[in-house]
Amino acid sequence: MASVQISDVRKSFGGFEVLHGVSIPIEDGAFVVLVGPSGCGKSTLLRMLAGLENITSGTIAIGDRVVNNVQPKERDIAMVFQNYALYPHMTVAQNMGFSLKLRNAEANDISTRVKKAAEILDLAPLLERYPRQLSGGQRQRVAMGRAIVRDPQVFLFDEPLSNLDAKLRVAMRTEIKELHQRLKTTTVYVTHDQIEAMTMADKIVVMHDGIVEQMGSPLELYDHPENQFVAGFIGSPAMNFLNGHLKVNGAQPYVETDNGSRLPISSAPAASDGRPVIYGVRPEHLDLASDGIEVEVAVVEPTGSETQIVARIGSQELIAVFRDRHQVAPGDKIHLRPRAEVAHLFDKDTGRRL
């Protein structure tokens, strides 16, 4: 196990810079998830950590050792690939033992360690199978087995669950988290799925266009997003954003939307009256209340445990989620009241939190 220190790392392909100075401290034993939309540079960063891509500038250190010029095999890391990258011509046992074989480990030692890893991952009955004879979830576990057999300093996961169906994904999520709690190996996990990030991470790093937008614990990011991007990216369904202007002159400050509705806020930030802002409120923080803002229901989506309502306020769309079952139908007028204490305000121009 080791800590990882990513300091001001940049990456260019040709003349095109894709990572613009990324710094991420990763504590020993932490489970860190890099999350962001496609093309944000998260996979590139992971591959640089693995040694599959060169580092244009900045440093990456594993433990106390700067690894910029260290060969991948000397870095003592193991990686799980999106397509698993299992060797098709080797059995499960050979796949898992390959790295040990290359290190000239003794056959006995290899077989003991492979068996141990197979037991952890429930793979013992499959050891003599070839990858073709395995299901998606089993392949995924073999890929993980190949990583843990080596007992590396750091585990790297590159979108490992994206090839699985929805149900299996949830199951594997739990399995990976359990594995981490058991082995406590430092883990860097890349995904574009914010739910994976929220459920698995000790620390989430939200990336966008080659920079780190915010890092912190899942709930920190959820409760205090530093900018509109993070606010919109974390949480499902996504946070609602309404354009409006700050009104701070009265006794109770509020945000007035373009069509005149008043949105409550608990305290006014240090800002002038009439400043254009973006008002953010999560779908679960909207209550049905007669003194709320009037909206027109467009779509009702019941999921059983909760009901999602898509409503329109002027030209803007609003999503609300209710645990209780309310009788609403498309076309109804309902009144929604945002909870002032959990509403977020963002600067209209910079998107920064106010």
Partner 1 sequence: MTTMQTSMPAQAVYKDTRSLWEKLRTNRNWLALWFMLPTAAFLILFLAYPLGLGVWMSFTDERIGRTGIFVGLENYEWLWNDSIFWLSVFNTLLYTIIASVIKFAVGLYLALLLNRHMPFKAMIRAIVLVPFIVPTVLSAIAFWWIYDAQFSIISWSLIKLGLIDHNINFLGDPNMARGSVIFANIWRGVPFVAITLLAGLQTVSPSLYEAATLDGATDWQRFRYITYPLLTPIIAVVMTFSVLFTFTDFQLVWALTRGGPVNATHLMATLSYQRGILSGRLGEGAAIATAMIPFLLAAIAISWFGMQRRKWQQGSDND
Binding site for partner 1 (CB under 8 A): 50-52, 72-73, 77-79, 81-83, 85, 87-90, 98-99, 102-103, 130-135, 146, 150
Q: What is the CA radius of gyration of the chain?
A: 24
Nearest CB to partner 1, comparing residues 98 and 322:
98
Residues in the chain: 354
Give the E-state strand segments of the chain in sequence order: 4-13, 16-26, 31-35, 57-62, 65-66, 77-80, 154-158, 186-191, 203-208, 211-216, 240-247, 254-257, 262-264, 276-281, 286-302, 307-313, 316-322, 333-338, 344-347
Nearest CB to partner 1, comparing residues 138 and 259:
138
Name the minimum Å distance from CB 88 to partner 1: 6
Helix (H) or strand (E) holding 195: helix 194-200
Name the minimum Å distance from CB 224 to partner 1: 37
Name the minimum Å distance from CB 182 to partner 1: 22
Nearest CB to partner 1, comparing residues 72 and 232:
72
Nearest CB to partner 1, comparing residues 52 and 171:
52
Nearest CB to partner 1, comparing residues 31 and 155:
155
CA atoms within 13 A on the CB side of 53: 21
92 burial level (CB within 10 Å; 0-12, 13-18, 19+) = buried
Nearest CB to partner 1, comparing residues 164 and 345:
164
Name the minimum Å distance from CB 127 to partner 1: 14
Name the minimum Å distance from CB 132 to partner 1: 5
Whether the CB-CB separation of 306 and 323 falls below 8 Å is answered with yes
Name the minimum Å distance from CB 32 to partner 1: 19
Q: Helix 107-120 vs helix 136-149: angle between axes, to the nearest 10 degrees?
A: 130
The phi-psi region of residue 272 (left if phi > 0; otherwise alpha if psi is between -120 and 50; otherwise beta) is beta
124 burial level (CB within 10 Å; 0-12, 13-18, 19+) = middle
Instruction: Walk across the sheet containing 286-302 and list its strands.
Output: 316-322, 307-313, 286-302, 333-338
Nearest CB to partner 1, comparing residues 53 and 347:
53
DSSP 113-153: HHHHHHHHTT-GGGTT--GGGS-HHHHHHHHHHHHHHT--S
Residue 231, SS3 per DSSP? helix
Helix (H) or strand (E) holding 94: helix 92-102
Whether the CB-CB separation of 187 and 32 falls below 8 Å is answered with yes
Name the minimum Å distance from CB 89 to partner 1: 5
Nearest CB to partner 1, comparing residues 132 and 323:
132
Nearest CB to partner 1, comparing residues 53 and 202:
53
Whether the CB-CB separation of 28 and 64 falls below 8 Å is answered with no
Name the minimum Å distance from CB 24 to partner 1: 21
Name the minimum Å distance from CB 51 to partner 1: 8
